[in-house]
Amino acid sequence: MVNVAKNAGFCAGVKHAVDMALELAEKYGKIYTIGQVVHNELVTKYLKEHGADVVELTALDTLKPGDVVLIRAHGLDKNLEQKLVDRGIKLFDATCPVVKKNQKIVEEESNKGNDIIIVGDKDHDEVLGLMSYAKNPIVYKESYKIEFPSKPTSVVFQTTITAEKMEEIDEYLNKLNKSQNLVVTFNTICYTTKKRQEETAELAKTNDAIIVLGSKNSANTIRLYEVAKKINQNSYFFQTIEDVKSNLNYLKDYKKVSIVAGASTPPWLIQEVNKVMSTTQKDAKLAQETEMTKEATSQEQTKEDKELTMEDLLKSNKSMGFMVYKPGKRIKGTVISATESGVFVAIDGKKDGFIDKADACLDGAYNPADFVPGAEIQAIIVAVNKDFVSLSKKEVDAKLVEEEEAEKALSAGEFELVMTEVVKGGLRGRLGKYTIFVPASQIKVGFVNNLEDYKGKKLRLMIMPPKDAKEGEEGEEKKNSRYLFASQRMILEKEKKEKEDAFWNNIHVKDIVEGKVKRFTQFGAFVSVRGFDCLAHVSELSWNKITDPSKVLNVNETYEFVVLKVERETGKISLGYKQLQKKPYEIAAEKYPIGTVVKGKVERIFPYGAFISIDDGVDGLVHVSQISHNWIKDANEALKVGQEVEAKIISFDDENRITLSIKELLPEPVVEEAPAEAAEGEEKAEEKPAKKSSRAKKFEEKVENAKPKRGAKKEEKTEEPKSWVSGSSSTNVLAEKLKALVAETAEEEKPAKKKASKKDAE
Ligand code: SF4
């Protein structure tokens, strides 16, 4: 069985540098990298072929202003960097963030005045770069060579040092440092490197043999080999596929082999070795599985083709069947293996595919164990490289999610969609695999003048039943089940109807509702209640007689109204406002307690008395007997319409009738001094009530009878006036009654008068 280590191949830092070199080369045509981007000849060759050539540190003088130069993942001497910038070189930096962090520590610690010890290879580019950030750095490779410092010292490690070596040195320094506290160490080894080393150690324990792949110039690959070899003697270091093939005679005898690779080893080398080892080994089961998977995914592939190695395939001009690797195309493939870098996939055609770990999962939680060799996989072609095809599974997953959501949206009945195109007769947008067409008439309720106004806008849509989808684009597309007609108007109309139903079902006569005054007309005010226009007639706005609604209400203000009439058939609702307000007499009752002196204007005069307006819509009656201390026969004798008078409220009965007296505000008449007998007689006369004429007595009696009695039965009251409202029918009724009484009294007096005049004549 052949297994590829999870952490095999390009690390993040190297991958970033390689990608950046390729991108810059494509953009500028030709670029230079300072030294090899990675210590691997295959990668260097590949980059050169794509326009990214190497310029050695010793040959930087050959660069010309304007040349594009890339600093690789290991970083660069900062002084050199500045010189290149000063010379007008276009400098791009692909220094790995882990190395950058190391540089920063060195610079900060050095600025503190500490000596700097760098544990690593003094000829390694990363170390050379680090040294430029310290004032007087000392580089050690082995612990026993370290001389204990005499002043505060900070120790950092080259990122590719093994974890064991770092611990060994740390321990050694700790021992020396015991009491002085002069040395502080920083763990600056690369996490990726550490993980890779730990995994290699683990695999070395559990496998029959370990194949370490990569360049012998790569420090971290050499470290991996050291780690593996220390544990498992059957550890082999190969640089190329040829190395592996030439050793197959003994490699094939190992039942369990793991492939590990340094951070600079290209993915396609790992893939090739995996393939050669898998097909060569006597692990028949895996070989068979691989063959079966291949067969399933590539029917045109011949038996002969299957036995070809990756390298053979790359070199071969022989067609494996027509396959156009078009970016964006969705393809199916079979997982060959999965490492920490990504997934190798067998696909149709001459090339194999590679899914970078960043493109493997939608949620970014890539786990190589999730990609089982032989499993079918769907991916989208992202780019076509010389030796392999870059694929993205993430994009396929995103599309699958999109399609799933599209199906959900369609089955939910209503969905939102951004309209991306204006086409003949309407708008178009994409929902998953569906094209959605919205005819112009279905965009809203009413006519759409300019379709462009809706381009890029989100509409709420529902799919139209086939019988309704008659408008818009004609032709084959209509027959396509992925071309659907949708409407926003249907949703809006449905909602309107639901809103109307809810409104009419929840409004009843006598309900108190809130309404906003929208506008006035001659006959009242239009009021919006829950979005519906209702009418409050002018006669229902005030207890007083008004003709202008603005005397009571303001436009755009909200008031409470009572519902007077609901007519769903005609869509009319009548509201009242005055019904929720106090009546003028209720206000007057509070405002004018009995005894209050009020000013008012004489409104109407009858012989029996005068009606005085004391407030808007509130009248009081001054009976003729309450006008003066002197006897007055007819109120017209003392008062005039329009005259302003002061009067005192002497009663306010349950029927809202106000009785006033002017007399009570007038001074008592002065009685002249009389002779003693006369005075005596007057005193006697004062003791007795003044003798009233029989006419006056009768009049008062009848007026008294005409007044309502407190506690009188209701039926008896129905005929009587309810209040002294100006111009009200009740006032008029009472006035008429009193008028009749006066006439009646006068008639009754007539015979007596006649008699008296006859007597006088005699
Ligand atoms: S090995 Fe670590 S430090 Fe070096 S480039 Fe890769 S990620 Fe960066």
Q: How far is the CA of 6 from the centre of ligand 1 (A)?
A: 16
Report which of residues 123 and 605 the model is more confident about. 605
Q: How far is the CA of 145 from the centre of ligand 1 (A)?
A: 26
Ligand 1 touching residue 128 (CB < 6 A): no
- The full 3-state SS of 691-760, as one line of letters, equals CCCHHHHHHHHHHHHHCCCCCCCHHHHCCCCCCCCCCCHHHHHHHHHHHHHHHHHHHHHHHHHHHHHHHH
- Residue 270 predicted with pLDDT over 80: yes
373-387 mean pLDDT = 82
What is the distance between the alpha carbons of residues 624 and 665, in angstroms, rounded to a whole number?
15
The backbone region for 371, taken as left when phi is positive above 0, alpha when psi lies in -120 to 50, beta otherwise, is: beta
Q: Are strands 483-487 and 434-439 parallel, antiparallel or unpaired?
A: parallel
State residue 195 phi and psi, 5-degree precision: -60, -45
At residue 187, the pLDDT reads: 86
3-state secondary structure of 146: coil
Please give the share of the chain, as a percent, with pLDDT higher than 70: 79
State residue 135 phi and psi, 5-degree precision: -75, -55
692-719 mean pLDDT = 44
Residues 292/296/297/301 CA torsion (nearest 10 deg): 80
User: Which of 105, 189, 193 for a ligand 1 pocket mutation test, highest count of atoms within 8 Å of Cβ?
Assistant: 193
At residue 744, the pLDDT reads: 53
Ligand 1 touching residue 192 (CB < 6 A): yes
User: Which of 10, 11, 157, 158 for a ligand 1 pocket mutation test, highest count of atoms within 8 Å of Cβ?
Assistant: 11
At residue 375, the pLDDT reads: 84
Q: How far is the CA of 678 from the centre of ligand 1 (A)?
A: 139
pLDDT band at 296 (very low <50, low <70, confident <90, very high): very low
What is the distance between the alpha carbons of residues 155 and 228, in angstroms, rounded to a whole number?
27
- Closest residue by Cα to residue 337 from 407, 261, 408, 395: 261
At residue 675, the pLDDT reads: 53
- Closest residue by Cα to residue 173 from 200, 196, 144, 198: 144
What is the distance between the alpha carbons of residues 509 and 694, in angstroms, rounded to a whole number?
56
Reported as a single tens digit per residue, the pLDDT across 190-200 is: 877 778 888 99
Reported as a single tens digit per residue, the pLDDT across 546-555 is: 999 999 999 9
Average pLDDT, the chain: 80
650-678 mean pLDDT = 78
Q: Picking from 91-100, 219-228, 439-448, 480-489, which range would have the lowest pLDDT averaged per residue?
A: 480-489
Q: Is the whole-model pTM more than 0.75?
A: no
| E strand segments, 312-439 | 330-338, 342-346, 352-356, 376-384, 388-392, 415-418, 421-423, 426-431, 434-439
3-state secondary structure of 144: helix
Q: Is 475 exposed, middle or buried (CB count within 10 Å of its CB: 0-12, 13-18, 19+)?
A: exposed
Other Cβ atoms within 10 Å of 415 Cβ, number: 19
Q: If you ran DSSP here, which 8-state letter would residue 667 be given?
A: P
- Closest residue by Cα to residue 148 from 178, 113, 118, 173: 173
At residue 318, the pLDDT reads: 32
Contact 463, 493 (CB under 8 A): no
Reported as a single tens digit per residue, the pLDDT across 669-685 is: 776 655 555 444 444 44
119 has which bridge partners? 140, 157
Reported as a single tens digit per residue, the pLDDT across 107-117 is: 999 999 999 99
List CB contacts of 368: < 8 A, sequence separation 6 or more: 6, 338, 339, 340, 343
At residue 178, the pLDDT reads: 64
Ligand 1 touching residue 602 (CB < 6 A): no
516 has which bridge partners? 528, 558
Which residue's CA is the closest to the ligand 1 atom numbered 5? 13
Side chain identity at 247, as an amino acid letter? N
pLDDT band at 574 (very low <50, low <70, confident <90, very high): very high
User: Which of 14, 19, 40 for a ligand 1 pocket mutation test, highest count of atoms within 8 Å of Cβ?
Assistant: 14
- Residue 722 predicted with pLDDT over 50: no
Which residue's CA is the closest to the ligand 1 atom numbered 8? 13
Q: How far is the CA of 189 from the centre of ligand 1 (A)?
A: 9
- Residue 756 predicted with pLDDT over 50: no
Reported as a single tens digit per residue, the pLDDT across 389-434 is: 889 998 888 888 888 888 888 888 889 999 999 998 899 998 888 8
- Residue 726 predicted with pLDDT over 60: no
- Closest residue by Cα to residue 73 from 57, 48, 97: 97
pLDDT band at 437 (very low <50, low <70, confident <90, very high): very high
- Residue 477 predicted with pLDDT over 80: no
248-277 mean pLDDT = 86
Q: Which residues are catalytically annotated?
A: 126
130-151 mean pLDDT = 84
At residue 490, the pLDDT reads: 93
